[in-house]
Each structure stands twice: as C-alpha cells, then as structure tokens.
Amino acid sequence: MNRRFEQALNCEAPDRIPFLPAIYEHKAWFVGETPSKVCQDSQLFTTALLAEYERVHPDALTIGIDVYNVEAEAIGCKVIYYEGNDTSVPAIAPEGVVFRGSKEVASLKMPDPRKDGRMPLNLEVAGNIMKVLGKEVPIRAALSGPLSLAAHLAGLENLFMLMFTQPDLARELLGFACEVIKRYGQAFIELGCGVVLFDSQASPDLLSPLLYREFVLPRTRALIEHFHQQGVRNVPLIIGGNTTKMLDEYLETGANNVLCDKKADVKEFLHKCSAARRAFRRNMDSTDFATISSEDVYRRTVDCLKESNGYPGFILGTIILPYGTPLSALAAIRSALQEYKHS
C-alpha cells in the first residue's frame, strides 16, 4: 500500500511530498469520453479511474466526477447533462432546486444510497476500484459538504437569505444535508473506502467566517466526528478559495487535511497547521497547463514545493484540472516531485 499520503496526514515525513491532483471532469478524458457520459456509466467511470491511476500515479484516488451533484440529484434536484461531444461538467439546474423555504425540511426525500440517483452507480464504481486498487493506494469517495449540499437544495442566494430571515430553518436544512451525507458516506465506508468532504460554497469568497462558525462549523465538526467513530481516521475537508481568514474555523472542524488554495496564505497555513499538527494540501495554479511548456510546469512545481518549508504535512495539489489537461504537464510535476530535495 502506498502510505505516502497517510504519512503526510500524520505529519510523519514521507519519502517525498505526496501528489493529489484535482482530477474530476478530466477523468473522462482518459477514456476519450465526455464527463456527462462517464459519470452516468459505471464501466466507463471505473475504466477512467484505472486509467487515471496508471497514467498520473496520484498518491490517492478520489471517486467523483461532478462531485457536488450526486447527493442533490438523489434528493430530487435536476442535473443538466450535456449531449454529444460537449465536455462541460454536469451541473444542478438553477430551476431544479427542491427547497424553496415554503415547505417543511421534513418533506424532503431522504435518499437511499443503494437506490436513488447515481449513488448506486458511484458505490458500484467504488467497489470495482477497491477490488483492483484497494490494497495499492488510498481510495476516497467524494462527498458534498453540508453547506454545498444545502445550497444545491435551496439555491445559494436563498440559503444565505434564510440565515438572516429564518435561521432555524437554515440550520434544519443543514442538519438534513448532514444526515444525507452521513448515510451516503456510510455506504462507502462499508466498502472499505475512505471519504473526503467537499464544501467550497463555504469559502470566505462567499460566506463570512462568522456565519460559517455559527451555521456550518458545528454540523461539519459533528459530521467528521461521526466518520471518525465509523473508523475513518482521515477525513479531508476541501474548501476552495482564500480560506486564510477562516483557517481557525477550518481547523476546528477536526479535518486532518485542509486545503490551502493558490490564493491562500501558505505561511499562515504552515504556522497554524504545524501548531495543530494537521496536514494541508497546497494547490498550484494549473489553469494554463494546456498552454505553458513542461519546463514552466516543472519550475512552477519547484516553486510550490519550496513553499512547504520542509513541513511533513505538506501535500502538493492542483486546482481542478480542466478536461484535456496534457499528460506532459503532470509528468513534469512528477519529475519535480521526485527530484526535489528540501534544503
């Protein structure tokens, strides 16, 4: 088993810095299909994950293409899938929200992970991958975080307004979201998979740290604690954007792997994460990988690795890789990782 990722999570210096590129819609590219097609076909999805592992060699694999849609769709939100060769990422249709604040949260459908939407498909893929790679590399299932799921159910603007006008209702909706996430996560855990929570709607680019603390933090902390009790020791929480302002809250969630996105202050993350003995993933900018040379990718990687300052809990990541990102760019990152020695 590749223990590099787990060693970094435990802040025990691995043989080299682990690499976790953010490959979601780009998975489909490995099998020459569109994200819409692959995320609806368990065989294609499985093949895409195996191809990703073979060609990119990440230090952990994540089951997920259109990460934030699966739970919301299983509850009843409408997802837009794209036809033909359109490689856009499926997304929740704005008119497809299921909670408009006028009805009871209790009337929302609690999905059954084995029956509803694409939850069974994702579980099937996880089972397939666990059989082939489960002893070789950590496999984690992507789960929506509570704010992001609640935002899909109600619409982000509506959810924010509820926080002011009907705070108890907003809390209730977040509580419902947590229950969905727990059940879906539990189904993966039973397959032997790990989980990773994605909650980028909680970024300070959108929500204040104060509102995060009041509405989201208690529920996220309880959710992570629940997964710990189920035997999942490592629960990463991914919140994009500049999370420097909410780093205290972020660490209070109990997640042992947080995200330091390209806009965030890496020095502040080093300071606070080392004090709290938590790992963090530093994202390098990868939006232009299709247009810059491998040498430039290599140099950028080295610059990013230098930011680690030798911290054993440092993980190298990318922002979400666009569909079609050239393999040469990822090969350049791997070369830099293998050759880099912190001085």
Q: Decide: 184 and 121 in contact? Cβ < 8 Å.
A: no
Compute the least distance from the CB of residue 8 to other proteins, in Å. Answer: 24
205 is a site residue for other proteins (CB under 8 A): yes
| Residue 281, strand partner residues | 259, 315
206 is a site residue for other proteins (CB under 8 A): yes
Tokens found for residue 40:
């609806």
Q: What residues between 116 and 175 interact with other proteins by CB under 8 A?
A: 156-157, 160-161, 163-164
Query: Considering only 7-15, 140-148, 186-194, 319-327, which stretch makes contact with other proteins by CB under 8 A?
Result: 319-327
Nearer to other proteins, 64 or 194 (CB): 64
297 is a site residue for other proteins (CB under 8 A): no
Q: Could you give the string, one character per residue 230-249, with x where binding to other proteins holds by CB under 8 A and - elsewhere?
A: -----------x---x----
Q: Which residues of 271-280 are buried (b: 16+ CB within 10 A; e: fewer)?
A: ebbbebebbb
- Answer for which of 21, 323, 329, 336 binds other proteins (CB under 8 A) is 323
| Residue 308, strand partner residues | none
- The count of other CB atoms within 10 Å of the CB of residue 257 is 22
Nearer to other proteins, 164 or 341 (CB): 164
DSSP letter assigned to residue 214: I
Rounded CA separation 187/244 (Å): 33
Rounded CA separation 136/124 (Å): 19
| # chain residues binding other proteins, by CB under 8 A | 28
92 is a site residue for other proteins (CB under 8 A): yes
Compute the least distance from the CB of residue 250 to other proteins, in Å. Answer: 16
Nearer to other proteins, 187 or 304 (CB): 304
Compute the least distance from the CB of residue 156 to other proteins, in Å. Answer: 6
338 is a site residue for other proteins (CB under 8 A): no
Q: Decide: 223 and 182 in contact? Cβ < 8 Å.
A: yes
3-state secondary structure of 315: strand
Compute the least distance from the CB of residue 223 to other proteins, in Å. Answer: 22
Q: What counts of helices (H) and strands (E) characterise the chain?
A: 14, 10
Q: Decide: 69 and 90 in contact? Cβ < 8 Å.
A: yes
- Torsion region of 86: left, alpha or beta (phi above 0 gives left; psi -120 to 50 gives alpha): beta
Compute the least distance from the CB of residue 163 to other proteins, in Å. Answer: 6
Nearer to other proteins, 200 or 234 (CB): 200
Contacting positions for other proteins (CB under 8 A): 25, 80, 88-89, 91-94, 156-157, 160-161, 163-164, 203-208, 211, 241, 245, 287, 319-320, 322-323
